[in-house]
Amino acid sequence: MVRPETAPGDVAADPGTSGGRRRRLLVVTAMAAVLVLTAVVFFRWGSAESPTVAPSPSPSASATAAPTTAEVYAAMAPSVVVIEAMTRDNKVTATGTGVVANADGLILTALHVVRGAVAVRVTFADGTRSAATVSASDPKQDIAALIAATQPPVLVPAVLGSSERLAIGDGVVAIGNQLGMTSSATAGVVSGLDRVATSKEGGTLTGLIQFDAAVNPGSSGGPLVNARGETVGIVVALANPTSAGTFIGIGFAVPIGAAVAAGGNGRGPQQ
């Protein structure tokens, strides 16, 4: 049987030989490399085409709105008292306002409300009535401090602020018992600082807060409250060029720091 001749240099590849295995390995390796390259290209292309995810916004605190006049009044009303100066036969000779200044029940008011009174009676916001005595006074500031013989079951002292933070134009609320109308609230602005006024007794009051919230007889001793609900002054006077003694647009208050010192409290404003 004649076998076909093989040209010199030609070798028939035998699948079972080592040369065949190497050739298959090279083919497999090349195919794997192509697949990897293709995957990388598609991954990068897909990443470039994918939209960028925007970062989610983080929560932030919103601005707190200032309390309204109604909210300021609601917060202050439990600390405001009616003050009556009386004769021996319990006749009321003068009416004013006071504010509970600390947890011990110290009440600050205007001295001219209780000056010369034989007896003093206070009525708290919850209706509790009690005799009271003057524990300290300062005619130069027209400020008096009272202590009630009987206190209400729940005593609510006012939050005291700092008049040093006041600026002309700041909003204020005056709370008092003007013209016999108890628990009256009026709103306005600080219209001057470090003012001088004449007291009812003819003395000179200095370092006063001037404001335009309406006040009238009966308002004396009441709190002047800032827009945060803090007591920053004690109302002591109003300006009126006539003998009527009614409000024409200018009221005066003793800064709360001076009022506290005059009342012998020994503790300054909380804020």
- For the CA atoms of 4, 8, 11, 12, what is the dihedral angle to 10 degrees? -20
Decide: 224 and 233 in contact? Cβ < 8 Å. yes
Decide: 258 and 160 in contact? Cβ < 8 Å. no
3-class secondary structure, 204: strand
Is residue 143 pLDDT above 80, yes or no? Answer: yes
User: How far is residue 47's CA from residue 45's CA, in Å, rounded to a whole number?
Assistant: 5
pLDDT in tens, 174-188: 999 999 899 899 999
Q: What is the DSSP letter of 164?
A: G
Q: What is the mean pLDDT of the chain?
A: 83
Produce one character per residue of 203-230: b if its CB has 16 or more CB atoms within 10 Å, e if not: eebeebbbbbbbbbbbbbbbbbbbbebb
pLDDT in tens, 187-236: 999 999 999 998 877 789 999 999 999 999 999 999 999 999 999 999 99
Cβ neighbors of 235 (< 8 A, separation 6 or more) are: 97, 110, 174, 176, 215, 219, 220, 221, 222, 223, 224, 251, 252, 253
Q: What is the pLDDT of residue 202?
A: 76
Q: What is the pLDDT of residue 14?
A: 44
User: How far is residue 226's CA from residue 169's CA, in Å, rounded to a whole number?
Assistant: 11
Which residue in the block uniquely carries the two structure tokens 């083919």?
27
Q: What is the pLDDT of residue 33?
A: 57
pLDDT in tens, 66-107: 889 999 999 999 999 999 999 988 899 999 999 999 999 999
3-class secondary structure, 260: helix
Q: What is the pLDDT of residue 157?
A: 97
| Cα-based distances in Å from 223 to 76, 215, 235 | 9, 11, 6
Give me the active site residues, please.
112, 142, 220
Backbone angles phi, psi at 65, to 5 degrees: -70, 145
| Cα-based distances in Å from 155 to 94, 124, 148 | 25, 9, 12
**CB neighbourhood size of 144 (10 A):** 29
Return contacts of 236-241, CB within 8 angstroms, 24+ apart. Answer: 236/110, 236/112, 236/141, 236/142, 236/143, 236/197, 236/199, 236/205, 236/208, 237/142, 237/197, 237/198, 237/199, 237/200, 237/205, 237/208, 239/197
Decide: 214 and 186 in contact? Cβ < 8 Å. yes
